Amino acid sequence: MSPASSTAPHGQSPLRTVQVLGGGNAGSSAHVRSLAAGLVARGVRVTVCAPAEADDRYDFTGIGADHVHIPRSSDPASVAALRAACADADLVHAHGLHASFRTVLALSGRHTPLLVTWHDRVQVEGARGHLLRLLERRVTKAAAVILGTSSDLVDRARRAGARDARLAGVSLPRTFRTAAPDGPDPLRPKARAELGAIGRPLLVAIGSLDRHRGYEVLLDAARAWRDLDPVPLLVVAGEGPLRAELTRRIEDEDLPVRLIGCCEDTDGLLAAADLALLCSSWESRSVLAQEALHARVPLVATAVGGIPDLVGEAAELVPYGDPEALADAVVRLLGDTGRRTELAELGARQAAGWPTEDETVAQVLSVYDELTQPSPMV
């Protein structure tokens, strides 16, 4: 079956694939939905194995895939359920470390080809981090092909023993794209007023309140912005284990920062912003970075992981963990309308060069072909 074909040739049964998702972050879950929709449209039978709440949110069944509830667990019952779901698959495609490790266990003793996409990397240290790196090595040695969403993930897979590791051309699904408005956005003043950013710059950061997101550094930088007139407002959208700690700092240090929790309308939030900020210790293909460039919102980001390759010259990049460099970049951009306009235009051009959803599906289908074609006769 060629990547361009939409149905199986000469009456053959359509390719049967299983996509395994462990719950995943928003980016990988949306990618699986986009991929599944593209595969179904091309005549591929798709079963998505994921927790029920993932199907509730991303509606895999609504785009023509089958869904099997598999809890985000590696207990024997979950592995057995996954093994049963993969029984008739021509190929299994797992997304993320936890999902791929469960899949390796479920496929033990079978010859079903396994493709793994890494969207992220282990973000913990200590004993748990060591265990997860052992799981990484187990997965990389079992998978026929590892696709990494950034070049450093590909290098990591190769160091862990992957037989075949390649860069994945992963698109930003349409559900995440914030289109730049044609002319002034009539809803922008209302959104800014609701956030308390009338007559002052609005800075936006979006992402879970986890340690690797660098929010402590962001709050350190925010102290420098208090000297500006007017004082910028930083709005952080997301939830996570650091909420109480960050709230205490904001209150104790009287920082111009609002934590607004999970936000359903992140595109509206971003469209209202003067700058988007990304301060993580590591990212692959950051959804926020992609949304900001699509929306022509100037971005200040840390030069880590896949970010430099992703944004090119279309963002201000600063070292991770350097609040002075971050504060300086923000202050400089807020005072330079011309540079903000330039970054908006560069961002739109950079985004136009990223893979489309169709191109992403075509690349994955080409790998499926490689792994499912019969070996040539000797």
Alpha carbon distance 212, 281 (integer Å): 5
Element holding 19 (H helix, E strand): strand 16-21
Task: Find, among 202, 340, 313, 310, the residue nearest to 258 by Cα.
Answer: 202
- Answer yes or no: do 205 and 325 share one domain: yes
The total number of structural domains that make up the chain: 2
43 token code pair: 């005549």
CA atoms in the 13 A half-sphere facing the CB of 44: 32
Q: What mean pLDDT comes out for the span 257-285?
A: 94
Model confidence pLDDT, tens digit, residues 151-204: 999 999 999 999 999 999 888 876 665 556 555 566 688 889 999 999 999 999
Residue 67's φ and ψ, nearest 5 degrees, are -125, 135
The verdict on residue 3 lying in a domain is no
Higher-pLDDT residue of 73, 342: 342
Model confidence pLDDT, tens digit, residues 21-50: 986 677 889 999 999 999 999 999 999 999
- Answer yes or no: do 44 and 149 share one domain: yes
The verdict on residue 50 lying in a domain is yes
For the domain that residue 268 is a member of, what is the CATH number? 3.40.50.2000
Q: What mean pLDDT comes out for the span 75-103?
A: 96
Amino acid at position 160, single letter:
A
**What per-residue confidence (pLDDT) applies to 23?**
66
70 token code pair: 């598999």
- Answer yes or no: do 365 and 235 share one domain: no
CA distance to 7, 349, 370, per residue, from 359 (Å): 18, 18, 17
Using only C-alpha atoms, the chain has a radius of gyration, in whole angstroms, of 22
Identify the sign of the CA torsion 325, 330, 333, 334: negative
Q: What mean pLDDT comes out for the span 304-332?
A: 97
Question: Where in the sequence is the domain holding 368, given as residue range(s)?
Answer: 9-171+356-372
What pTM does this model have?
0.88
Model confidence pLDDT, tens digit, residues 203-245: 999 999 999 999 999 999 999 998 899 999 999 999 999 999 9
Least confident of 117-121, 143-147, 196-200, 359-363: 117-121
- Answer yes or no: do 225 and 267 share one domain: yes
Strand, coil or helix: 129: helix
The DSSP call for residue 175 is G
- Answer yes or no: do 234 and 133 share one domain: no
- Answer yes or no: do 198 and 160 share one domain: no
